[in-house]
Amino acid sequence: MTEIPPSDFRSRAMATIGAQPIAMSAAALVLIVSGIGAILLWRMATGLTPEAERAAGGRQIQVRVAQTSEQIMEKAKGLEMSQQESIDQLQAVQDQLHTLQQLITAQRAETKKLSEQVGEIGSSLDNLRQSYAAAQPGDTAERPAAKKPVARGKPHKPLRKRTKARR
């Protein structure tokens, strides 16, 4: 048997091993390039790129946020207007209440004044009766008995019995 020197063995082994990795590398390179080309063709066919998709999504979100913000502002303005209307109505009710309180106070004062006047009239009437009674004590005893008062107005008619109509 012949012996192969070690340096010769290495070069033969490298030659057989070296041919396969280059072929595998070339095949991998072809696959990678064809994959990148397919992705580029797909993006060109659809017209979308990830950056454009992100930008479009961002714009849509901005539009939604703007619409929501506008709706919130409109609702806030509506609430502000209804609150102002409520305040105005409350102010009107308070003004009416104040006016009613003034009227009630004036009416109470008038009632008190009239009550005092009625009391004064009653005491004046009592004084007048007393002075009249003191002035004519003898005249009342000589006077004949008073007659029965006569009712004024329509004379009293006797009630008639109702009769049923005969058939």
CA 28 to chain centre: 70
Token digits for 51? Answer: 């950056």
pTM over 0.85: no
Question: Which comes out higher in pLDDT, residue 23 or 107?
Answer: 107
Q: What is the C-alpha separation between 99 and 88, in angstroms, rounded?
A: 17
Question: pLDDT at residue 7 above 90?
Answer: no
> CA of 92: how far to CAs of 21, 85, 88, 98, in Å?
96, 11, 6, 10
Torsion, CA 53, CA 59, CA 60, CA 66, rounded to 10: 170
pLDDT of residue 151: 53
Q: Which two tokens stand for residue 159?
A: 């009630």
Percent of the chain at pLDDT above 70? 68
b/e burial code for range 121-159 (CB count within 10 A of at least 16 → b): eeeeeeeeeeeeeeeeeeeeeeeeeeeeeeeeeeeeeee
User: How does pLDDT run across 37-78, given as a tens digit for each residue?
Assistant: 998 888 788 776 677 778 888 899 999 999 999 999 999 999
- Structure confidence at residue 90 (pLDDT): 96
Tokens 């020197």: give the residue: 5
